[in-house]
Amino acid sequence: MPTPPPLPFDRESLRRELQALDTPELLALGARMRRDPSRLSLYLGILRARPGHKAQLAACLICFDLARLGQASAERDFHALIPTLRGLAGDPLLLTEMIGDDPFLLGLWGACRQAIDADDPRESTAGLEANVPLVGELDLLSDLELDLDLSRLADAARREENGRAFAKLTARQLGYDLENDRMPEWSGMSTSTGREVDALEEYLRQASTYAPSVPLARGLSSVGQLFLASHLRRRSLFGKPNHRRIEALRAGLSALPSDRPDSLATAAGLFEEEGEAVIERFQKVSELLLDYVRFCSIREADPLHPGAVEAYIEADRLPAPLFLAGETRRRR
């Protein structure tokens, strides 16, 4: 059966996705892509740039795979790498971790061991045969399935990276000194001054970029914006609508989730951690949401529909102070 042509791919995009994978994952994918020398060469370049025995073993195996496909440079390189491979082969823990019981990797390693055992160090110009027979090659996955698997792995890596980046962003906003392991000396959710409001608004803007992959960021896209809106004046000094408040209100109501309501509770918990003063101010968000739900109920409107959001903004309602009646610092 003829070998199918390799699937087309954007080399730079693929390189970025592959660089996000751990070395064992990259080797496992490489063992399944032996019919595509261009991808194997890409894998080899990434592995050679990594330190450590894992990357060294993986690079040697990919180099061997390219050599038996007839790539002349890989044949020369592999012959020079045989002493290194012999040393790595003496580490059973390394082999177990990198190869395990994966049938593709077992086949690749078995063929590689045969080549090592057949090597004669006196033959300095000896190369490997391009068609060394495989040991137990199993065609379990198609190239398309491998591409989909690679995409899932890359997505998981991106979510993890986004989670770490968002955690650092939030820690800075809340006043944690990560480098010196110091607890915060101020509240990152305070709105007592114009500077604090500006800082909170900028934090929420940055947090929204992580919303698709980080649940807390997704919740803050709604709850955080509503918190901001409830602490901005409804009118400017000249009696006109405060567009800054309107945009925060629109963003918060539009981001109410339809499938993951727990993200709202997670975001609300962040405010709870900030202490009694912030919790008291957060009650305005509860009042606003109750008023919005009541408005939609009267109108028989879907609270998640954009039309309901715009109708509520146009109505310019003033939520009743259910929790903080008589509180003098309420912004109007």
For 229, the domain range is 161-315
Same structural domain for residues 99 and 233?
Answer: no
What pLDDT does residue 206 have? 87
Whether this prediction's pTM lies above 0.85 is answered by: no
> Does any domain span residue 247?
yes
Please report whether residue 74 resides in a domain.
Answer: yes
Structure confidence at residue 29 (pLDDT) = 81
- Taking the CB of residue 153, how many other CB atoms lie within 10 A of it? 19
Instruction: Give me the residues of the chain with pLDDT under 70, please.
Output: 1-11, 13, 33-35, 119-157, 176-188, 237, 273-275, 277-278, 323-332
User: Do residues 111 and 215 both lie within one domain?
Assistant: no
Closest among 260, 258, 194, 262 to 228, alpha carbons compared = 194
Q: Clarify whether residues 107 and 221 are in a common domain.
A: no
Q: From residue 110, how far is each of 47, 52, 151, 331 by CA, in Å?
A: 21, 22, 29, 74
How far is the C-alpha of 121 from the C-alpha of 145, rounded, in Å? 41
Q: Identify whether 4 is part of a domain.
A: no
Number of Cα atoms under 13 Å in the Cβ half of residue 57: 25
Q: Do 121 and 173 belong to one domain?
A: no
Task: Give φ, ψ of 201 to 5 degrees.
Answer: -65, -40
Q: Specify whether 165 is located in the same domain as 237.
A: yes
Q: Kindly state the percentage of the chain with pLDDT values over 90.
A: 13
Q: Are residues 102 and 237 in the same domain?
A: no
Question: For residue 325, is it within any domain?
Answer: no
Q: Which pLDDT score, from 0 to 100, does residue 9 have?
A: 47
Could you tell me if residue 69 is inside a domain?
A: yes
Domain boundary among 106, 140, 174: 140
- Tokens 């012999």 -> residue: 86
Taking alpha carbons only, the member of 328, 316, 7, 293 closest to residue 150 is 7
For residue 208, the tally of other CB atoms under 10 A from its CB is 17
Instruction: Specify whether 181 is located in the same domain as 302.
Output: yes
Kindly state whether residues 171 and 81 are assigned to the same domain.
no
Contact 299, 311 (CB under 8 A): yes
- Name which of 184, 104, 190 is nearest 149 in CA terms: 104
- Domain stop point among 85, 111, 140: 140
Q: Is residue 2 a part of any domain in this protein?
A: no
Which pLDDT belongs to residue 241? 87
pLDDT of residue 130: 42
48 inside domain: yes
- Do residues 167 and 290 both lie within one domain? yes
pLDDT confidence of residue 254: 92
Domain count, the chain: 2
User: Do 121 and 182 belong to one domain?
Assistant: no
Residue 322 lies in a domain: no
Share of the chain above pLDDT 70, in %: 74
Best CA proximity match to 309, nearest among 230, 242, 247: 247
Domain match, 168 and 303 both: yes
Examine the fold and report which residue of 75, 105, 140 is the final residue of a domain before the chain moves on. Answer: 140
Indicate whether 178 and 308 sit together in one domain: yes
Give per-residue pLDDT as tens, 161-196. 877 888 888 877 777 665 665 655 556 677 778 888
Backbone angles phi and psi of 181, in degrees to 5 = 55, 50
State both tokens at 9.
């791919």
The span from the first CA to the last CA of the chain, in angstroms, equals 76
